[in-house]
Amino acid sequence: MNLEELLYSTYGFSSFRPGQKEIIEQVIAGEDVIALLPTGMGKSICYQLPAKILPDSVLIVSPLLSLMQDQVAQLKKMGEKSVVAINSFLKPEDKDRIMNNLGAYKFIFISPEMLVQPFIKKKLQEIRVSLLVADEAHCISQWGFDFRPDYLRISEILPILNFPQVLALTATATDKVTEEIKEYLALIKPFVYCHPMDRKNIVYDIKKFEDSQEKLEFLKAFIQKFKGPGIIYAGTRKKSQELSMLLTEQGISAAYYHGGMEHQDRVFVQQQFQNGEVEWICSTNAFGMGVHIPNIRQVIHFQIPTSIEGYVQEVGRAGRDGFPALATLLYATGDEALLESLVMDDLPTQHEIEAVFNNGPSATHLIDQGVVRETAFRVIAYWMTKLPLAGVTSQIEQLRKGKRQQASKIRELVSREGCLRSYIIGCFDQQLTHKPDNCCVNDGIDYGVFEAFSYSEKKPIPLDWQERLSVILPI
Amino acid sequence: MLFSELILAIMKPLNRQRTISSPYHLIKGKKSGQTLQDIGYFGLYPYFGVLSKLDKKAYDQVIKSLFSQGYLLANEQVIELTEKAINASIDESPLNGWKYRGNENLFFNRLSLIVQTLSHVSQSVKIFDPIVNNEEIQMWVKKYLQQIQFRDLAVVQAFKNELFTTLSNSAVSETHKMILTERLTGLTLSGLTWQQIATSKKLSVLDVQLMTVEALHSWMAEIEKSKPPLLLGLMEGVIQQSSLTATAQRTEKLFERGFTLEQIASLRQLKTSTIEDHVVELAMNDPYFNFQSFMSQELYKAIISESRHQQSKRLRDIKEHLPDASYFQIRLALSIKEENQ
C-alpha cells in the first residue's frame, strides 16, 4: 500500500511533513532509526503509521508522565482504541486485567521505571514487540538538558525483548548526544535522520535592559505595537499571573497558564488560545505540549531560558504555518546570576548524596521528609547502584560541569555580536546553509513585516447565560 | 453568598464554642467525629463539604480579613464574633451540602463533557480534547450518550430545552447562572478559568466557586422536582441513599447484631473512641435513635437541661456540673434530635 494513502485513510492527512516519510520508510524496512525532528513536526506519526503495517505491538518508552498522557489522549482522539499506558498511576484493579492481555494492545506506552520491574519484565518477555520506540531519547544522555537516570535502564530490557527494532525520537540532540543514544540502545548502524534545526521564518531578537522594570515598560509598548497570537514565557507561575494581569490592564486579551492550575482551567486556556478568543498566553514552560497552533506569531522570553535546547523548543512553537514569526528574548543585567542558580538548583548537593548513601536507594521517606529533593534522589539512587560514594560525587561534579556549559551557551547567545541563527544551529552541530533576509538582531531586523499582521479578535462575548448556551449549542 | 458570608453563617451558631478552624473542616467535609457531630448540634447541614478542595492558606487569608474588617475579636481558644458580625444579615442560601456530599461535581463533570460533545458533534466536528480526563466519567458519559441517541439533532434540541427550562426555574440569581454557563465549553466558545470569571465579576475565586456550588445545588433540586427525562439521567448515583459514612454503616450493622462497642472495636481493630464517634453519627441521623443502652432517661434529661441552662454545647462546661456523665454520654445526648425523644 502506498504510504500517502495509508496516511490519509488512517489519520485524514493528505501529505507528510518533511522528514516523516523518510523515517517511516526506514522503520517499515526494518532498520533501526534515530530521528531528530523538531517539536511539532509530527514525531508520533513516525511510529503510529508503521504500527498499521507491523505485525505486533509497538512499545513506546516515554520519560515524562504528562507527555505520555498527552500522547495517549492524542491517539485516542484519532480514534485509536488499542492503546494502554503503564505507569505509576495505573490502578491495581486495572493492572492485572491489562497485564494478562498485554500482547493484545497495539500501542503500549510505558515509563522507564515500570519497564524494569520484574513482574513487567516477565510479561514483556511473553509478548511480541515489533518496534521499541524511545521517545525523548535525549533523556538518555547525561549531557542532555533533562537527563533521566531511569531512562538508562532501557538497555536492560533490550535482551529480554530479543533486541527488537528500535526507533529513537528526539527534538534536540547534539552529535555527542546522538552517539550516546546509539551506545545505550545498542544500535549498530542506525539510519539517522536529522532535520535541519534552522527555522527560516523565525527571526531572533534580543533586547537588553538595566533591570526588570525596564523589561515591563518594553513589554507594554511591544504588545500595543505587535499583534499575537503570542506566548510569553515568564519563568515562574507567579510571574505568569502578573504579566497576564499587566496585559489585561493594557486592554490586551491575555490569559495565564501554569502547572499549578486545575486540569479544566488549563484546557479552557488552551481552547481560548486555539479559538482566537485570547491573544496572548503568559506561561511557564508547562505550556506548549499538546498545543498545536500553527499561527503563533510571537514568542517572548521574559526570563532568560536555562538551556539552548529548551529555548529552541519554546521558540519553535512559533510560525508553524511558515509565515514570519518573531522570537524576542528580554535580558536584564544580572540575569546570569539568576541563570546560574536556576541551572544548578536541580543538582544533588553533597549533603543529599550522603543522605541517600546512608539510607539506601529505597529510602524514599527522605523525599517525604524534605531531606532530599525528588529529582536529586532519582539521580543519586541510580548512580549508587553503579558506583561508590566517591564515584557518585565525581559523577555529580561532571554533571555540574555539563550544566555550567549549558549556562555558558545561553550567556554566549546573549552576549554574542555575530549572527544568532548560525550560533543557535551551531549548538546542534549544524551549519547555516542559507541566511534569510530577516535573520536576527545582530544582522538587523525588519520589524515592518510583523507590524503588518493583524489579529482578528473573535466576535463579542455573549452577555447573558441564555446567549452563552445558545452559542455553545447552536441548534 | 460570598465566601466570607459562608464563614460568618457557620460561625454564628459556633460562636464562643468552637475553634476558628472548625468552619474550615466543615466546609472541607471532614468526616471526623467532631465535625459530623457539630453539624447535628448546630444545624450546619447546608454547609457540609461545599468546597472540598478548599486550601487552608486561602481560608486563613479570609479569616485575616474578617479580623481586619471588625467581624472577629482576638481569642486564643474559640471563635469570638463582634456585634457587627452577629447583627450582619446573611441571605438565605440554596446550599444543601449534607444531601449532595460534593457529588454536584460528579453531576457537573458529566454535564460539561456531555455539553462539549453535543456542541461538537452537532456541528459535525468529531475530534476534540475532552474537558474531563477522568476515565470513569468518560465511560459513563459515553454510555449515557449512546442511550439517548445523541447523534439525533432532535435529541440535542430536547437536551438544550431542558437546560434552558430547568436553569430558568432554579432559584438563584442571573449571576449564578452566568457563572455556571461560563464553566461550560463548546466548539466556538471556550469555558473560562476561575480566575477569569472572578476578575470579570470583581469577586474572588472562592466567591465564584461557592456560587457555582449554590447554583448547582439549586439546579439539581429543580431537576429532582421537575424530572426532565434527559437531565434526570445525570442524577444517577449523585444522591447518596444513606447519609452515614461507610465506616459508620459497618459499625451500625455490627451493633444491630448485638455486639457491644468494645467488641465492635476489637473486631474492627479500631479504637473504642472511634466506634463511639460512629454511634454519635448514628444518633444524629436517626430521629428515633434509642439511647437507653448508653444512658438512662434521667441522665439524658439532665444533660439537655444543663446545656440549655448554660446556653452552651461545650462538653467541658457540661461535664463540670455533671461529673458522673462521661464525655461520650454528653456528646451522644447533645446529638440526639430532641423533638422526637
Q: How far apart are CA A410 and CA A469, in angstroms?
A: 49
CB-based contacts of A357, cutoff 8 Å, min separation 6: A380, A384, A389, A392
Q: How far apart are CA A24 and CA A31, in angstroms?
A: 10
Q: How far apart are CA B197 and CA A41, in angstroms?
A: 35
Count of positions (residues) in chain B: 341
B129·A265 Cβ contact <8 A = no
Residues from chain B contacting residue A462 (CB–CB below 8 Å): 189
Residue A145 has a pLDDT of 47
Residues from chain B contacting residue A472 (CB–CB below 8 Å): 115, 119, 181, 184-189
A462·B189 Cβ contact <8 A = yes
Q: Report which of residues A177 and B340 the model is more confident about.
A: A177
B152 & B81 share domain: no
Q: What is the mean pLDDT of chain A?
A: 86
Residues from chain A contacting residue B159 (CB–CB below 8 Å): 473
Question: How close B78 comes to chain A (CA, Å)?
Answer: 32
Query: Left, alpha or beta for B286 (phi > 0: left; psi -120 to 50: alpha)?
Result: beta
Look up residue A77 and give its amino acid. K
B162 → chain A, closest CA residue: A469
The CA R_g of chain B, rounded to the nearest whole Å, is 23
Identify which of B204, B245, B181 has the alpha carbon closest to the alpha carbon of residue B6: B204
Cell numbers representing residue A457 in the block: 479578535
Cell numbers representing residue A221 in the block: 509598548
A277·B167 Cβ contact <8 A = no
CATH top-level class of A3-194: alpha beta
Q: How far apart are CA A252 and CA A250, in angstroms?
A: 6
Output the CA torsion sign for B99, B101, B102, B106: negative
Residues from chain B contacting residue A277 (CB–CB below 8 Å): 189-190
B156·A474 Cβ contact <8 A = no
B40 & B113 share domain: no
Give the 3-state secondary structure percentages of chain B, helix then strand then coil, rounded to 5: 65, 0, 35
B176 & B218 share domain: yes
B209 & B294 share domain: no
pTM for the full model? 0.80
**DSSP-assigned letters across all residues of A394-456:** HHHHHHHHHHHHHHHHHHHHHH--S-HHHHHHHTTT-------SS-BGGG---THHHHT----
Q: What residues does A34 pair with on adjacent strands?
A: A168, A192
Question: How close A241 comes to chain B (CA, Å)?
Answer: 10
B256 & B155 share domain: no
In chain A, list all ranges with CATH 3.40.50.300.
3-194, 202-338+409-466
Q: How far apart are CA A253 and CA A461, in angstroms?
A: 12
Question: Is B6 in contact with B61 (CB distance < 8 Å)?
Answer: no
Angle at A415 between CA A410 and CA A417, to 5 degrees: 125
Look up residue A432 and give its amino acid. L
- Residue segments in chain B with a per-residue pLDDT below the cut of 50: 340-341
Q: How far apart are CA A322 and CA A202, in angstroms?
A: 9
Cell numbers representing residue A365 in the block: 521517606
Write out the H or E segment, with its range, that includes residue A332.
strand A325-332
Query: Left, alpha or beta for B80 (phi > 0: left; psi -120 to 50: alpha)?
Result: beta
Q: Which domain holds residue B296?
A: 246-335
- Is the pLDDT confidence value at A132 over 90? yes
Residues from chain B contacting residue A255 (CB–CB below 8 Å): 193, 196
Angle at A244 between CA A308 and CA A447, to 5 degrees: 60
Nearest to B190 among A69, A272, A469 (CB): A272
Q: How far apart are CA B40 and CA A138, in angstroms?
A: 59
For A310-326, b/e burial (b = at least 16 CB within 10 A) is: bbbbbbbbbbbeeebbb
Question: Is B232 in contact with B107 (CB distance < 8 Å)?
Answer: no
CB-based contacts of A25, cutoff 8 Å, min separation 6: A3
Identify which of B163, B302, B173, B174 has the alpha carbon closest to the alpha carbon of residue B230: B163
Question: Is A296 in contact with A317 (CB distance < 8 Å)?
Answer: yes
B110 & B202 share domain: yes
- Secondary structure (3-state) at B72: strand
3-class SS letters over A352-380: HHHHHHHHCCCCCHHHHCCCCCHHHHHHH
B340 within a domain of the structure (yes/no): no
B98 within a domain of the structure (yes/no): no
> For residue B19, how many other CB atoms are within 10 A of its CB?
15
Question: Is A168 in contact with A134 (CB distance < 8 Å)?
Answer: yes
First and final CA of chain A: distance in angstroms? 42
- A210-248 pLDDT tens trace: 998 999 999 999 999 898 899 999 988 999 999 999 999
Q: How many domains in chain B?
A: 3
- Is the pLDDT confidence value at A285 over 90? no
B195 & B286 share domain: no
Residue with cell 541510580: A382
Cell numbers representing residue A341 in the block: 542558580
Name the CATH superfamily for A202-338+409-466: P-loop containing nucleotide triphosphate hydrolases (3.40.50.300)
B89 & B107 share domain: no
Q: What residues does A440 pair with on adjacent strands?
A: A204
Report residue B113: phi and psi, to 5°. -70, -35
Domain final residue, candidates B34, B64, B93: B93
Report residue A445: phi and psi, to 5°. -115, 135
CB-based contacts of B290, cutoff 8 Å, min separation 6: none
Residue with cell 488552551: A270
Q: How far apart are CA B199 and CA A119, in angstroms?
A: 51
Report residue A59: phi and psi, to 5°. -105, 120
Average confidence (pLDDT) over A153-179: 85
Residue B169 near chain A (CB below 8 Å): no
CA distances from A231 to A106, A227, B97 (A): 36, 11, 41
Residue with cell 464553566: B183
Question: How close B312 comes to chain A (CA, Å)?
Answer: 42
3-class SS letters over A444-464: CCCCHHHHCCCCCCCCCCCCC
Residue in A66, A71, A264 to test binding to B, most B beta-carbons within 10 Å: A264
CA distances from B57 to B4, B22, B24 (A): 14, 14, 11
Cell numbers representing residue B27 in the block: 466546609
**Would you call the peptide bond into A324 cis, given omega within 30 degrees of 0 as the criterion?**
no
Q: How far apart are CA A347 and CA A395, in angstroms?
A: 11
B123 & B216 share domain: yes
Q: Provide the CA B152 distance to its chain's centre, in angstroms.
A: 37
Sheet containing A57-61, strands listed edge to edge, beginning at the edge strand earlier in sequence? A83-86, A107-110, A57-61, A129-134, A165-170, A33-36, A191-194
CA distances from B262 to A261, B246, B265, B273 (A): 47, 19, 5, 9
Cell numbers representing residue A193 in the block: 535522520
Nearest to A268 among B178, B181, B192 (CB): B192
**DSSP-assigned letters across all residues of B250-298:** HHHHHHHTT--HHHHHHHHT--HHHHHHHHHHHHHH-TT---TTTS-HH
Q: How far apart are CA B304 and CA B295, in angstroms?
A: 13
- Is the pLDDT confidence value at A302 over 90? yes
Question: Is A475 in contact with B122 (CB distance < 8 Å)?
Answer: yes
Q: How far apart are CA B230 and CA A451, in angstroms?
A: 51
Residue B149 near chain A (CB below 8 Å): no
Task: Kindly state the percentage of chain A with pLDDT values over 70.
Answer: 96
Question: Is B207 in contact with B198 (CB distance < 8 Å)?
Answer: yes
B231 & B251 share domain: no
- A94-126 pLDDT tens trace: 888 888 888 899 999 998 878 878 888 888 889
Residue in B119, B126, B193, B208 to test binding to A, most A beta-carbons within 10 Å: B193
Residues from chain A contacting residue B193 (CB–CB below 8 Å): 255, 261, 265, 268-269
- Identify the CATH number of the domain in which residue B311 sits: 1.10.10
B341 within a domain of the structure (yes/no): no
CB-based contacts of A205, cutoff 8 Å, min separation 6: A326, A327, A328, A329, A440, A441, A445
CB-based contacts of B221, cutoff 8 Å, min separation 6: B94, B96, B170
B188 within a domain of the structure (yes/no): yes
In this structure, the strands spanning A298-301 and A230-233 are: parallel
Nearest to A77 among B127, B159, B191 (CB): B127
B146 & B212 share domain: yes
Question: Is B14 in contact with B23 (CB distance < 8 Å)?
Answer: yes
Q: How far apart are CA B67 and CA B4, in angstroms?
A: 11
- Identify the CATH number of the domain in which residue B69 sits: 1.10.10.10
B258 & B226 share domain: no
- A314-358 pLDDT tens trace: 898 899 888 999 999 999 988 888 777 777 777 888 888 888 888
